[in-house]
């Protein structure tokens, strides 16, 4: 709205003003502008000056045409004009305020619309996200861990899930070769945010499922070499592997690959069994031997090895002592009964310090009441909450790899063992340094 427009409104306001002399106009405008300036501020002064000029010119024209009277008291007119002009300025200012308010309402409406769009837009994180249960029913979508994107190698990943569908190292009930696929299936229930710990791993790390290790199911010894080579490649990308087993044999070849890259590591091994047999049935490679082999290969920092949950029947009273003789700490299940394991983990964290540490979790460490779907069941095991305390207790450590082994779906008709395994793998991801 410019000065001319304002002047035209002004002239339309009172036709009697046509009868003023040019000089009367100027006096009146001057007084009015002073008042206006006081009333609504300096910023309208320039506009007012231009308005006065326009009106003066208009009066000049009228005077030349003999249409302006000279017998009106200019002071009276000035007062009248002052009041009218000020009132009009105020009205204009009020109109402006109203217009701005409308604009503000419009802008606020648009802002609300934009916020709404942002809130409901598909997540555009720079990191991979699990497929949400609000985007695809949980029984659909890709059969990857947590329905994450899959990729063929670990390139570009901070952490990866990887399956080893192997059970030719088992001694009793088989079926762990079906574990990775079943754990992935049950992982479909998992949501990205850890309500207990506050961890949001997919907001801070690039994670994907890189599929399965192509083991040779007719040759366990060849399979362990295949596993080591596979993990050597994962580690060249600086990626932390989280492994879905598979029988416990697989931890040894993984630790070999880690030793090549990082040297010996601390170990938290949760299991009903020590898995330190020198041989089984005359064989050096079996699911009861991985930590004996890892020890032989110099994969472990012996004073930083912890075996938690050991129990059951043995061949001799000192079955669990071999590890102790190497400097390992052995915490049998009975020492865990009826209590929180948070203090134990606090002490383990203190002792491990900043050393690289590997977490190997055999699902048979849990009591079969929680996890019956496994091959070598022992009574009197850990509770699922104690297991959570152990895994969450790893947070803050320099965790370089984790596995969850020995889920055997044929003995898991409810799917609960695989589901617990999936949850534990997610908790391991949450415990990584992010």
Residue 169 CA neighbour count, 13 Å, CB half: 31
Contact 10, 61 (CB under 8 A): no
Q: How far is the CB of 271 from Mn ion (least distance, A)?
A: 4
367 binds Mn ion (CB under 5 A): no
In this structure, how many other beta carbons lie within 10 angstroms of the beta carbon of residue 137?
A: 9
362 binds Mn ion (CB under 5 A): yes
330-337 contact pairs (CB < 8 A, 24+): 330/274, 331/306, 331/307, 333/272, 333/309, 333/365, 333/378, 333/380, 333/381, 333/382, 334/380, 336/308, 336/309, 336/382, 336/386, 337/380
Q: Which is nearer to Mn ion, 188 or 256 (CB)?
A: 256
427 binds Mn ion (CB under 5 A): no
364 binds Mn ion (CB under 5 A): yes
Window contacting Mn ion (CB under 5 A); options: 121-129, 154-162, 265-273, 331-339:
265-273
Using CB under 5 A, pick the residue from 158, 209, 271, 412 that binds Mn ion: 271
Using CB under 5 A, pick the residue from 158, 247, 275, 367 that binds Mn ion: 275
Q: Which is nearer to Mn ion, 209 or 271 (CB)?
A: 271
Q: Kindly report the backbone phi and psi dihedral angles of residue 201, in degrees, each rounded to the nearest multiple of 5, phi listed first.
A: -60, -30
Window contacting Mn ion (CB under 5 A); options: 156-164, 270-278, 322-330, 343-351:
270-278
Q: Kindly report the backbone phi and psi dihedral angles of residue 137, in degrees, each rounded to the nearest multiple of 5, phi listed first.
A: -45, 140
Distance CA 412, CA 144 (A): 20
Distance CA 269, CA 311 (A): 13
Q: How far is the CB of 274 from Mn ion (least distance, A)?
A: 8
Using CB under 5 A, pick the residue from 147, 248, 292, 311 that binds Mn ion: 248
Q: How far is the CB of 272 from Mn ion (least distance, A)?
A: 5
Window contacting Mn ion (CB under 5 A); options: 21-29, 77-85, 257-265, 361-369:
361-369
Window contacting Mn ion (CB under 5 A); options: 5-13, 59-67, 85-93, 355-363:
355-363
247 binds Mn ion (CB under 5 A): no
Residue reference for tokens 């059970």: 167
272 binds Mn ion (CB under 5 A): yes
Q: Which is nearer to Mn ion, 163 or 381 (CB)?
A: 381
158 binds Mn ion (CB under 5 A): no
Q: Which is nearer to Mn ion, 147 or 248 (CB)?
A: 248
Q: Which of 68, 56, 54, 66 is nearest to 18 (CA)?
A: 68
Distance CA 374, CA 69 (A): 111
Q: How far is the CB of 326 from Mn ion (least distance, A)?
A: 17
Distance CA 175, CA 281 (A): 20
Q: Which is nearer to Mn ion, 141 or 312 (CB)?
A: 312
Q: Which is nearer to Mn ion, 78 or 407 (CB)?
A: 407
Q: Which is nearer to Mn ion, 84 or 171 (CB)?
A: 171
Q: Which is nearer to Mn ion, 101 or 278 (CB)?
A: 278
Q: How far is the CB of 218 from Mn ion (least distance, A)?
A: 23
222-245 b/e (C-beta count within 10 Å ≥ 16 → b) = ebbebbbebbeebbeeebbbbbbb
Restricted to residues 81-100, the positions that interact with Mn ion (CB under 5 A) are none
Distance CA 316, CA 332 (A): 15
Contact 128, 207 (CB under 8 A): yes
Q: Which is nearer to Mn ion, 74 or 245 (CB)?
A: 245
Number of residues that bind Mn ion (CB under 5 A): 7
In this structure, how many other beta carbons lie within 10 angstroms of the beta carbon of residue 83?
A: 12
Q: How far is the CB of 403 from Mn ion (least distance, A)?
A: 10
Q: How far is the CB of 181 from Mn ion (least distance, A)?
A: 20
Q: Kindly report the backbone phi and psi dihedral angles of residue 20, in degrees, each rounded to the nearest multiple of 5, phi listed first.
A: -85, 150
Q: How far is the CB of 420 from Mn ion (least distance, A)?
A: 15
Window contacting Mn ion (CB under 5 A); options: 124-132, 210-218, 268-276, 315-323:
268-276
Distances (CA, A) of 230 to 117, 235, 258, 286, 349: 43, 9, 11, 19, 29
Window contacting Mn ion (CB under 5 A); options: 9-17, 81-89, 344-352, 362-370:
362-370
Distance CA 409, CA 394 (A): 27
Q: Which is nearer to Mn ion, 210 or 425 (CB)?
A: 425
Binding interface with Mn ion (CB under 5 A):
248, 271-273, 275, 362, 364
């Amino acid at each position: 709205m410019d000065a001319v427009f304002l002047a035209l409104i002004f002239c339309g306001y009172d036709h009697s003003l046509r009868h003023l002399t040019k000089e009367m106009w100027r006096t009146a405008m001057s007084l009015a502008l002073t008042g206006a300036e006081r009333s609504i501020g300096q910023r309208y002064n320039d506009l007012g000056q231009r308005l006065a000029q326009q009106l003066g010119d208009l009066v000049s024209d009228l005077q030349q045409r003999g249409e302006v009277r000279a017998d009106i008291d200019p002071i009276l007119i000035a007062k009248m004009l002052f009041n009218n002009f000020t009132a009009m300025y105020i009205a204009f200012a009020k109109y402006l305020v109203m217009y701005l308010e409308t604009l503000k309402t419009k802008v606020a409406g648009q802002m609300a619309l934009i916020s709404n769009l942002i809130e409901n837009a598909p997540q555009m994180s720079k990191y991979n996200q699990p497929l949400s249960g609000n985007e695809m029913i949980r029984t659909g979508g890709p059969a990857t861990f947590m329905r994450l994107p899959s990729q063929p190698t670990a390139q570009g990943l901070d952490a990866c899930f990887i399956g080893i569908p192997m059970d030719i190292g088992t001694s009793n009930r088989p079926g762990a070769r079906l574990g990775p696929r079943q754990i992935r299936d049950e992982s479909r229930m998992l949501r990205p945010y850890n309500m207990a710990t506050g961890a949001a791993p997919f907001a801070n790390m690039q994670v994907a499922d890189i599929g399965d290790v192509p083991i040779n199911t007719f040759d366990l010894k060849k399979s362990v070499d295949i596993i080591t080579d596979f993990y050597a490649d994962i580690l060249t990308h600086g990626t932390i592997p989280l492994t879905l087993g598979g029988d416990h044999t697989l931890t040894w070849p993984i630790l070999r690959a880690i030793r090549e890259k990082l040297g010996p590591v601390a170990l938290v091994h949760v299991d009903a069994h020590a898995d330190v047999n020198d041989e089984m049935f005359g064989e050096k490679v079996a699911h009861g031997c991985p930590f004996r082999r890892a020890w032989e290969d110099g994969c472990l920092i012996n004073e930083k090895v912890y075996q938690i949950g050991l129990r059951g029947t043995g061949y001799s009273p000192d079955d669990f002592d071999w590890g102790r003789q190497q400097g390992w700490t052995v915490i049998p299940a009975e020492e865990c009964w009826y209590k929180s394991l948070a203090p134990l983990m606090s002490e383990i964290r203190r002792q491990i310090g900043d050393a690289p540490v590997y977490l190997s979790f055999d699902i048979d460490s849990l009591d079969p009441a929680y996890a019956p779907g496994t091959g070598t069941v022992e009574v009197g095991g850990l509770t699922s909450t104690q297991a959570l305390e152990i895994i969450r207790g790893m947070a803050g450590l320099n965790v370089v790899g984790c596995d969850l082994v020995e889920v055997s779906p044929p003995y898991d008709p409810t799917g609960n063992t695989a589901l617990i395994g999936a949850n534990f793998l997610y908790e391991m991801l949450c415990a990584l340094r992010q």
